[in-house]
């Protein structure tokens, strides 16, 4: 009697390596680091991922580029050897220093970072035609990815709640995307800027027309995605507008645990005081809108304009309403996961 054949051995499948727009070794030094630490790094979307080695599929650190301000080539003080292998990434709230293996590697990293944050291939770097082709390919992939992605600054809040959030947490950003009061697929953009020492809140309608989003300004501007809508406001104000991203400490205040009662306004103020206790470096006053854009945004597109005194009149009742809405949404989310 013939013995049954044992099944063939199946080799163990290692974790698939992530797909990056660009990857190479990169030495990183953050604000609290004493020296540079070497990683295998990869850029995917608007995030830098850091791995212990190029064989790892699980990152150990990551760095979002949503608060991007600029890139600089400044070498560390006293560093006379190979100044071309250093560059810095300046974000809205911190600065990260990098060290690479060569000038070519530095230009490649800068090029890919600028491609994803500005949605265009840079033309002022020392790059070969092959490098530019790689960045154009990354740009196409990034645009396709963003077409189906909701920006991190989108929040399901009302118009008044958006005003309250921007006023209460100015260090989290000053541009918020929210559902339109008209319903449907339309959205609205709420911004808060300081002009001549006074805070001003503005609201802009963004209409969904087929696959496009049209910003309702004096000369309507068409965008391919919601992310492009945000990029329009950021780029046309020279980065004076920064997408709103709620810090984890603030989220804990706004979204209490389901087992805990929603805090009353007085108790909430104490919790917020604790969350805000760490010192925050003062930020420069945001720049105003540039001439042409100021004229465009000032005519017809501004739904309402609130000075600081108007925001001060927002009552504790509105604050409590915001807390309760957050608690309900949080409870509903947990119920849906069960």
pLDDT of 110 > 50? The answer is: yes
Its sign, for the CA torsion 309, 188, 296, 223, is positive
Its sign, for the CA torsion 43, 49, 55, 58, is negative
More confident residue, 313 or 80: 80
Q: What is the DSSP string of 49-89?
A: EEESSTT-SS-SEEEE-TTEEEEE-PPPTT--S-GGGEEEE
Q: CB 107: neighbour CB atoms within 10 A? A: 20
- Note the pLDDT of residue 81: 66
More confident residue, 53 or 296: 53
- Note the pLDDT of residue 174: 95
Do 40 and 103 form a contact (C-beta atoms < 8 A)?
no
Burial of 270 (0-12, 13-18, 19+ CB in 10 A): exposed
Give me the residue label for tokens 């989003």. 213
Structure confidence by residue, pLDDT tens digits, 174-198: 999 999 987 788 999 999 999 999 9
pLDDT band at 60 (very low <50, low <70, confident <90, very high): very high
CA distances from 268 to 61, 135, 136, 204, 328 (A): 32, 47, 49, 30, 17
Do 28 and 37 form a contact (C-beta atoms < 8 A)?
yes
Structure confidence by residue, pLDDT tens digits, 268-325: 333 333 333 343 333 333 344 444 444 444 433 333 333 433 444 444 556 666 677 6
User: What integer is the mean pLDDT of 39-65?
Assistant: 93
Of the candidates 78, 74, 61, 82, the one whose C-alpha atom is nearest the C-alpha of residue 110 is 74
Of the candidates 229, 138, 87, 211, the one whose C-alpha atom is nearest the C-alpha of residue 220 is 229
What b-and-e string marks burial along 180-214, b requiring 16 or more CB atoms within 10 Å of the CB? beeeeebbbbbbbbbeeeebbbbbbbbbeeeeebb
Radius of gyration of the chain (CA): 24
Do 53 and 38 form a contact (C-beta atoms < 8 A)?
no
Structure tokens at 74: 């400044």
More confident residue, 286 or 41: 41
Of the candidates 77, 313, 288, 53, the one whose C-alpha atom is nearest the C-alpha of residue 191 is 288
User: What integer is the mean pLDDT of 85-101?
Assistant: 90
Of the candidates 195, 192, 197, the one whose C-alpha atom is nearest the C-alpha of residue 311 is 192
- Note the pLDDT of residue 186: 92
- Note the pLDDT of residue 314: 47
Q: What is the pTM of this model?
A: 0.52
Write down all domains in the chain, each with its CATH number in brackets: 22-148 (2.30.29.30), 159-248 (3.30.505.10)
Q: Return the HEC string of 108-152.
A: HHHHHHHHHHHCCCCCCCCCCHHHHHHHHHHHHHHHHHHCCCCCC
pLDDT of 125 > 50? The answer is: yes
**Largest distance between two CA atoms of the chain:** 96
Do 91 and 113 form a contact (C-beta atoms < 8 A)?
no
Average pLDDT across the chain, whole number: 75
């Amino acid at each position: 009697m013939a013995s049954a054949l044992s099944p063939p051995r199946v080799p163990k499948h290692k974790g698939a390596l992530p797909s990056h727009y660009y990857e190479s070794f990169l030495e990183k030094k953050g604000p609290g680091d004493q020296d540079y630490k070497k990683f295998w790094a990869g850029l995917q979307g608007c995030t830098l991922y850091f791995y212990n080695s190029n064989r790892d599929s699980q990152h150990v650190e990551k760095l979002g580029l949503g608060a991007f301000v600029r890139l600089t080539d400044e070498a560390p003080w006293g560093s006379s050897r190979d100044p071309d292998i250093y560059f810095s990434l300046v974000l809205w709230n911190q600065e990260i220093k990098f060290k690479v293996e060569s000038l070519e590697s530095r230009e490649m990293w800068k090029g890919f970072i600028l491609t994803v944050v500005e949605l265009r291939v840079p033309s002022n770097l020392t790059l070969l035609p092959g490098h530019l082709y790689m960045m154009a390919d990354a740009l196409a992939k990034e645009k396709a990815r963003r077409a189906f992605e909701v920006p991190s600054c989108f929040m399901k809040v009302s118009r008044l709640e958006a005003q309250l959030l921007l006023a209460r947490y100015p260090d989290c950003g000053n541009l918020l995307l929210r559902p339109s009061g008209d319903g449907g697929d339309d959205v609205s953009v709420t911004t808060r800027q300081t002009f001549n020492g006074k805070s001003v809140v503005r609201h802009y309608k963004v209409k969904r027309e087929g696959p496009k989003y049209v910003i309702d300004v004096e000369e309507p501007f068409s965008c391919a995605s919601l992310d492009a809508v945000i990029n329009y406001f950021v780029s046309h104000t020279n980065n004076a507008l920064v997408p709103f991203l709620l810090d984890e400490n603030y989220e804990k205040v706004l979204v209490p645990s389901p087992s805990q009662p929603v805090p009353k306004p007085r108790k909430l103020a104490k919790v917020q005081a604790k969350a805000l206790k760490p010192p925050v470096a003062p930020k420069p006053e945001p720049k105003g809108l540039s001439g042409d854009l100021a004229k465009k945004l000032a005519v017809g597109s501004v739904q309402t304009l609130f000075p600081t005194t108007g925001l001060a009149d927002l009552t504790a009742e509105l604050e409590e309403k915001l807390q309760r809405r957050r608690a309900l949404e949080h409870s509903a989310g947990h119920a849906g996961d069960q």
